[in-house]
A and B are shown apart, each in its own frame.
Chain A
Amino acid sequence: MDHLQKLEAQSVYILREAYREFRNLCMLWSIGKDSTVMLWLARKAFFGHVPIPLVHIDTHYKIPEMIEYRDRIALDWNLNMVYGENREALENRETFPDGRTDRITCCRNLKSEALKHTLSGAWPRYRLDHELGRYVPDKDNSPYTGVIVGVRADEEGSRSKERYFSPRDQDNSWDVGDQPPEFWNQFKTDFAPGTHVRIHPLLDWTELNIWEYIEREKIPVVSLYFNQGNGHRYRSLGCYPCTNPVESDARTLRDIIDELGSGKLSNIAERSGRAQDSEDGGGLETLRREGYM
């Protein structure tokens, strides 16, 4: 087995373990390359099916192509697609683009808060109706107690400390210093009522692994990752007011892999185009402790 096959096998094992152990499971799909690889791995794990709802937090500031891509894939792959949002903050325009908050507060409002309340079922969820081809209010408002998230340990400092199965208490908070042990392939799958767990099948993948795998498996990704002729491409995708592209000539998957392999970007953090990170002391740990993914 080569290194991608090993990574795939481990991630598939983790996804199946999660599916076996948690009844109210969901997978967060940000539309980015990592969680799209994770979605593909779910198809691997379940032999072409995805028996887990996909949850997307729509900030309504996502680059439009991302949403178009999300819905096309959801229909093509027969996904149980759900989205949630912070309607109140959007209606009151408590956002950074509206100039009423800073970037961090905007992230907290549109992502952390929306996520927390979408997962708990407290705020409305919208589910893709495959017959109608559009989203309808979701009748199911039971809380998700297992949440599969596509974070990678090499992304930034706080993520390197994660476990594959990581408990969060009722407030979504994360006790970094006191995490359960993981022996061999035995993870913490027993949880006291009221707590929930985040599951991280991609923890051991690197940015390069992700692109190598996308190339090998021919996984469709948003074209924003490629240079469309203007000398720039996105390396990490988010909301358009806070996401900047990097300079790059990479027009194909091979170009991206060569670019990463060349070390051209090795001194630039992958999320350097994400403006909220630098406002959070460069660590993201503040946001992450509060439930940011």
Chain B
Amino acid sequence: MDGNVNKPEQMEISNERGQMNIVIVGHVDHGKSTVIGRLLADTGSLPSGKLEAVRETCRRNSKPFEYAFLLDALKDEQSQGITIDMARCFFKTPYRDYIIIDAPGHIEFLKNMITGASRAEAALLVIDAVEGIQENSKRHGHMVSMLGVKQVTVLVNKMDLAGYRREVFDRLREEYSRFLSQIDVTPVSFIPISAREGDNIATHSPKMEWYRDATVLEQLDRFLSCRQLGGKPFRFPVQDIYKFTGSNDDRRIVAGTIETGSVSVGDEVLFLPSGKKSVIQSVEAFNAPLKTLATAGESSGFTLSTQIYIRPGELMVRTDEPLPEVGNRIRVNIFWLGRAPLVKGKEYKLKLGSARATARLAEVRNTLDASDLSFSRSKQQLDCRDVGECVLETSRPIAFDQAFINETTGRFVLIDNYEIAGGGIVLENLSSGESLLQRHIRERESHWEKGLVSTELRETVNGHQAKFIVFTGKPGTGKRAVARALEQALFERGLNAYYLGVASIDMGLDADLGYHNDQTGERLRRIGELARIFTDAGLIFITTIDDADDFDIETLKQLNEPNEILVISTGEHGFSRYEPDFQLPSGDNVEEAVSEVARLLKKREIIIEYEI
């Protein structure tokens, strides 16, 4: 091996033996299993006697020995003859340990290939020197790139069948490089090999004197193992908030894994999308020395210097670094694996970092057939194995980065019918444009069929304005009692007030939604649409919502347009920007609370007379 290798640099990063995940991909029958079998055999990683046993089996069955059989024997899959799932093989070089993730070449097993590739730090892409570039050679190249595997080495296999000719190798290298450059992939290297004969796997082949660069084993050791995550801004998706009070532990710990960057005790942090701020008070860990700094890759936990209410799914960042994007309309690249196509008008669940949101497909800008890279601008859905540039809208805003700025917070998956049906990367934040909700309201209002009774006439006859009154606060703050008492008090004074209990719609209007949390967006929409109807009917329409945030109220406000909303919080509220119209203390003095709200209604000229 020449002296121009990366080892000395890497050794500085860690003086421990490293470990690296490598994925091996390629078209079926291009020889992936043979390459792995060879690597295992040539590094002495096979159990003793295995090689001999497989040779013996082959001899008895009168079939020529192949290294691929080794792998099959190890995985007990001889009968099927194909690698049905990604499987891991362990081997080591003097330099470090490897886990080779064997991803199947068959098109039906694309999701296994993706599972393997998304865990890899580098990829070996195997191409048959004789068959040349096939559909999966292209598809896998594209997938590996989208999955964020930046280091790709192409193995041109079966050089023995191509007479070890340099022209064959050069032609394939040129052809495949041209393809990869169209999708912004630059391979680290191309290596001509014969896995069956062992050429250029562990040692240089005397049959290809024209090739003097790295063997496969040398190339593996050259891949860089440290992803450059430490130098980026701090990104901490909040996975959970723990408080184990029952076990006499008063710490309130914000838990998660640091995707990039670092944070220290004393740093001011911002939670997005809620916009709340605090300061890191401590770095928490069990059975570990006290720390004041936490860095990328660590599964960590923090306490904060102030008691703020945050939820799992927020992104914690530092205020002294570039901020991520926040939005609910994003331009993305998606690869779709679902049995059912990705279509408009259907709700999906989006998972990005620790955030979960309901998402809809708003636009399909173009689709790409990954095998021949042909574009279509007319297709309006993504079928299984399509890649497409689309616009997605989430039911509530999420925090993210554009993938080219920070890949770890710029990628997501979509869930359809309980399954991960697609994955993607964020290209751009489009949130300033008209949202699906705004468009819906514009269209609804343009079609709203008014009766012959005017709003003014209703108000005159009723003696009050219509209003949508929302009580919100944490569970147990008494908002329901106040809402019900307000309805009664107003009604007894001849005003048209109506209280809608959440339980009434859970089992009625919302009975089709089930109990799943993913439906909160739809529940909210229905309450908003009901409010639009009831306020149009001239009612003072009263309801309660647990723990609403800025986004919930903004959604209800828009859905109720052109009519107006009044928001009353009980106890501590969950808003960061929105100011409630009125704040009631948490507690049992219902009568006093009702009088205060009534005074407000009078002050706002919603009602004219009110005496308690």
Contact = CB atoms under 8 A, between A and B. Distances in A.
Contact of A44 (B74, B286, B337, B413): B286
Given A13-B257, A183-B114, 5 more contacts: A5-B297, A44-B287, A49-B244, A177-B84, A181-B420
Given A161-B87, A180-B420, A3 B298 contact: no
B406 to A, nearest CB: 13
A182 B115 contact: yes
Main secondary structure of the interface of B (DSSP, over half): mixed
Contact of B118 (A17, A19, A184): A184
B112 A181 contact: yes
11 contacts: A3-B18, A9-B299, A12-B257, A16-B256, A44-B285, A44-B287, A44-B299, A47-B249, A48-B249, A180-B420, A181-B337
A188 B286 contact: no
Contacts of A283: 76
B118 A182 contact: yes
B297 A176 contact: no
User: Which of B14, B88, B115, B299 is packed against the most chain A CB atoms within 10 Å?
Assistant: B299
A2 interface: yes
Majority secondary structure of chain A interface residues (helix, strand, loop or mixed): loop
Interface of B: 14, 16-19, 47-49, 74-76, 84-90, 97, 99, 111-112, 114-115, 118-119, 147-148, 239-240, 242, 244, 247, 249, 251, 253, 255-257, 284-287, 297-299, 301, 312, 337, 349, 351, 408, 411-413, 415, 418-420, 423
Given A9-B257, A44-B287, A190-B418, A183 B297 contact: no
A110 B53 CA distance: 35
Nearest to A161: B85
A154 B90 contact: yes
A139 interface: no
Contacts of B419: 180, 188, 190
B299 A20 contact: no
A19 B253 CA distance: 15
A181 B349 contact: no
A173 interface: no
A17 B299 CA distance: 12
Given A8-B299, A43-B287, A47-B286, A17 B75 contact: no
B118 A183 contact: yes
Interface string A159-191: 011010000000000001101111111101011
Interface of A: 1-3, 5-6, 8-10, 12-13, 16-17, 19-20, 43-49, 51, 78, 153-154, 157-158, 160-161, 163, 176-177, 179-186, 188, 190-192, 204, 206, 217, 266-267, 269, 282-283, 285
Contact of A176 (B84, B89, B423): B84
Contacts of A19: 240
Given A9-B299, A186-B413, A188-B419, A16 B115 contact: no
B319 to A, nearest CB: 25
Contacts of A45: 255, 299
Given A43-B287, A183-B115, A3 B76 contact: no
Contacts of B408: 184
A47 B299 contact: no
Given A13-B299, A47-B301, A181 B249 contact: no
Nearest to A1: B297
Contacts of A20: 239-240, 312
Contacts of A181: 111-112, 114-115, 337, 420, 423
A2 B17 CA distance: 8
B262 to A, nearest CB: 12
Nearest to A268: B47
A143 B297 CA distance: 35
A177 to B, nearest CB: 5
Given A8-B299, A186-B351, A43 B115 contact: no
A206 B90 contact: yes
Contact of A157 (B76, B147, B242): B76
A285 B14 CA distance: 39
A185 B16 CA distance: 25
Contacts of A1: 297-298
A179 B112 contact: yes
Contact of A48 (B90, B286, B312): B286
Contacts of A192: 418
Nearest to B110: A181
B335 to A, nearest CB: 10
A246 to B, nearest CB: 15
